[in-house]
Amino acid sequence: MFDFQYYTPTKVVFGKNTESRVAELIKEFGGTKVLIHYGGGSVVRSGLLQRVTDCLDAAGISFVTLGGAVPNPHLGLVYEGIELCKKEGVDFLLGVGGGSAIDSAKAIGYGVANEGDVWDFYDYKRKATGCLPLGVILTIAATGSEMSDSSVITKEEGLVKRGYSSDYCRPKFAIMNPELTMTLPDYQTACGCTDIMMHTMERYFTNGGNMDITDALAEGLLRTVKDNALILCKDPKNYEARAEVMWAGSLAHNGLTGCGNDGGDWMTHKLEHELGGLYDVAHGAGLAAIWGSWARYVYKDCLPRFKKFAINVMGVEDKGTDEEIALRGIEAMEDFYRSINMPTNLRELGIEATDEDLVLMAKKCAIGVGGEMGSAKVLNEEAMLAIYRASM
């Protein structure tokens, strides 16, 4: 068991029609001039943006808006947001949407609160010393960015995708109304469920320190998302299932499911980041496409955890050798992915990569992690390439 710090200051306001409380919450956290940052047109088409601006108007809170955050949000828009905030004297950010809008808002917040180029933080050149306060209205359950300390931004030049984490960017409040996620296409819902489970699985498959209670919480969360993802495949408008998944998304990535361990493995995420950078795939689907190949490559080096996962999460019977049980757990997970229409390899993801592409991705991935990384098993560039090849 490792020492740990746990810090989740975000005030979560969860339930139907909670977006109507947005002005009250902005005031509670001291916002007087707001940048509303959102993604594509769905926030506009659904009428959510109008409801939010009406609410701010009624409360006398002045605001500007900036749309256009895309999946794998771009640095260019972040720069644009920073300029807009400085010009307009914005003192509070409101991200409306999924992880893209929230991550983009976090980067804008760093850029406003710190001198110099905001990309420096994502490029590991220096550390932020603050972030403009931020609230969110979540419309997609997936990245957990609504409570997390992390954000991921893509630099268009060279399609470099990098994450930066600090407590400064944890949102002050998160408004979560499961009804807002109901218009999401089924594929995106399944991608979200995959991402949520993966945030906890990355923390679960480690060789460095574990706590019984963290494992128990992680396993309970994973079973819950698995069960409710299957419900949503058949009944996408099921409010209760939407709520289970939405709340799980926050808990999966706010730090709770990693307390006491070494911080997790995270190589599936790193391998997927290169996919996301090159092919602009949906993050969750990319994770599903990689995970099985990663798991088969590393499980022997992390056997007790893979066995425990198989039994406690996937419901595999405790019979046979540890390796057999672990492998049945991996197969069961891949069966689950298929049952929610997620890919289990790159071809199913729609990527026809040449071996040259795979070599390039492995090279970029290795550079991105500083040579080698992993807890279930430490992976170098050669290992990364082997996993990419196995995932074709």
Q: Closest distance between its own copies and the C-beta of residue 73, in Å?
A: 26
Q: How far apart are CA 29 and CA 268, in angstroms?
A: 36
Q: Is 124 in the site for its own copies (CB under 8 A)?
A: no
Q: How far is the CB of 373 from its own copies (least distance, A)?
A: 24
Stretch of 64-72, 114-122, 245-253, 384-392 lying at the interface with its own copies (CB under 8 A): 245-253
Query: Is the C-alpha dihedral spanning 291, 292, 298, 304 positive or negative?
Result: positive
Judged by CB under 8 A, the residue of 45, 127, 216, 324 near its own copies is 216
# of chain residues touching its own copies (CB under 8 A) = 38
Q: How far is the CB of 166 from its own copies (least distance, A)?
A: 14
The reply on whether position 3 binds its own copies by CB under 8 A is yes
57 vs 227 by CB, closer to its own copies: 227
Q: Which stretch binds its own copies (CB under 8 A): 244-252, 271-279, 299-307, 353-361?
A: 244-252
What span, in angstroms and rounded, lies between the C-alpha atoms of 88 and 105? 16
72 binding its own copies? (CB under 8 A): no
**How far is it, in rounded angstroms, from Cα 330 to Cα 182?**
30
For residues 63 and 53, give the distance between their C-alpha atoms in angstroms, rounded to a whole number: 8
Helix (H) or strand (E) holding 216: helix 212-234
Does the footprint of its own copies cover residue 247 (CB under 8 A)?
yes
What's the full length of the chain, in residues? 392
The 10 Å Cβ neighbour count of residue 314 is 19
**Kind of pairing between the strands at 150-155 and 160-165:** antiparallel
Task: Supply the minimum distance, in Å, between the C-beta of residue 230 and its own copies.
Answer: 12
What track of x and - describes contact with its own copies for positions 250 through 269 (by CB under 8 A)? Answer: -x----x--xx---------
Site for its own copies in 12-51 (CB under 8 A): 12-16, 18
Q: Is 1 in the site for its own copies (CB under 8 A)?
A: yes
Phi and psi at 66, nearest 5°, equal: -145, 110
Site for its own copies in 219-238 (CB under 8 A): 219-221, 223-224, 227-228
Contact with its own copies (CB under 8 A): which of 75, 152, 243, 316?
Answer: 243
φ, ψ dihedrals at 300, nearest 5°: -65, -25
For residue 388, what are the CA distances in angstroms to 77, 135, 272, 327?
Answer: 31, 37, 10, 19
248 binds its own copies (CB under 8 A): yes
Integer distance in angstroms from the first to the last C-alpha of the chain?
37
Cα–Cα distance, 80 to 345 (Å, whole number) = 37
Q: Report the interface residues with its own copies, using CB under 8 A.
A: 1-9, 11-16, 18, 211-213, 216-217, 219-221, 223-224, 227-228, 239-240, 243-244, 247-248, 251, 256, 259-260
